[in-house]
Amino acid sequence: MRDVQSERDSRRIPIDRVGVGGVSYPIVVLDQKENIQHTVASVSMSVSLPHEYRGTHMSRFIEVLHEFQGKVTLPHMEQIAEDLRTVLSAECAEIVFSFPYFISRNAPVSGLSSFTRYDVSFTAVKGEDFFDLVTSVTVPVQTLCPCSREISEAGAHNQRAFVTIAARMNGLVWIEELVDIAERNASAPVYTLLKREDEKFVTEQAYNTPRFVEDVLRDVAVDLEAEDRITWYSIRVASSESIHNHDAFASLERDKEGKGKKREERK
């Protein structure tokens, strides 16, 4: 049968990335408390394509993914990316798993348990002589405006905010640990289930812990700087303002090893 994808192309234009995206696939993630957690990821897989080839073999992306069914965890990410690169004869391969991750939380006063969702991604890039892995988690939190509290005779405006931490690691840092760093540096966490006594506690906690997005970002950065298992990180804090028709945000990126190389520069 004619292999159209492998036909020679005369335009001499290499392609940075070609692949498949939006693939829904069941995966297994390491869970600090329960050992493993089953979830469903949206998967994007791509490889570089030399100028001499007309196209790549799209079906092979799914074949590689299926070979690692039940093994999509951080320790396997390099092997998945390397198999993708090898099977498709590419210089570089990238695979991104984006998925919801759930942590059981107890309400602060009633102690009632419920699951909170956090959005997580693993991004793995593999070349002939390098491997790069970035773990990202987005954590919903509450922020209360210090300025509003200062100028108001009663109350202060507060809102839901989102702390996104991306990190490169030289040792396993649990998703739960990144979540904890984000939540403890906000005005208050958010919960799925709260009774009246819990709502009183959380709103008072936020009122007594006012935070600008800049405050949250800097405090998160202090904790990440102190964590030896993290070699590089980026932080973005975005507040969905309750009295303004816009968001407020702050962002920061730091390379603790001083190499000055971002992921895009290494590919």
Q: 99-150 pLDDT, tens per residue?
A: 999 999 999 999 999 999 999 999 999 999 999 999 999 999 999 999 999 8
Query: What would the pLDDT profile of 77-104 be if each residue is shown by its tens digit?
Result: 899 999 999 988 889 999 999 999 999 9
What is the per-residue pLDDT for 262?
46
What is the per-residue pLDDT for 175?
95
- Annotate 57-88 with DSSP letters as a single string: -HHHHHHHHHHTTT--SGGGHHHHHHHHHHHT
Query: What would the pLDDT profile of 186-221 be if each residue is shown by its tens digit?
Result: 999 999 999 999 999 999 999 999 999 999 999 999
Confidence at 263, pLDDT banded by 50, 70, 90: very low
What is the per-residue pLDDT for 147?
92
- pLDDT at residue 3 tops 60: no
CB 68 within 8 A of CB 97: no
Extract the tokens encoding 173.
């840092």
Domain segments of the chain: what residues?
1-98, 130-259
- pLDDT at residue 22 tops 80: yes
CATH architecture of 1-98: Roll (3.10)
What is the per-residue pLDDT for 10?
61
Total Cβ atoms within 10 A of residue 106: 13
Q: How far apart are CA 76 and CA 93, in angstroms?
A: 15
- pLDDT at residue 54 tops 70: no
Total Cβ atoms within 10 A of residue 55: 14
What is the per-residue pLDDT for 267?
43
Tell me what the pLDDT averaged over the chain comes to. 89
Query: What would the pLDDT profile of 169-187 be if each residue is shown by its tens digit?
Result: 999 999 999 999 999 999 9
Closest CA to 136 of 95, 163, 167, 179: 167
CA distances 245 to 158, 192, 239, 240, 242, Å, are 14, 25, 11, 9, 8
* Helix H or strand E segment including 199: helix 196-207
| 1-98 and 130-259 share one fold | yes
Region class of 75: left (phi > 0), else alpha (psi between -120 and 50), else beta = alpha
Q: What percent of the chain has pLDDT over 90?
A: 64
CATH of 130-259, one of 3.10.270.10, 3.30.70.20, 3.30.1330.10, 3.40.50.1110: 3.10.270.10
Whole-structure pTM value: 0.88
Q: What percent of the chain has pLDDT over 70?
A: 91
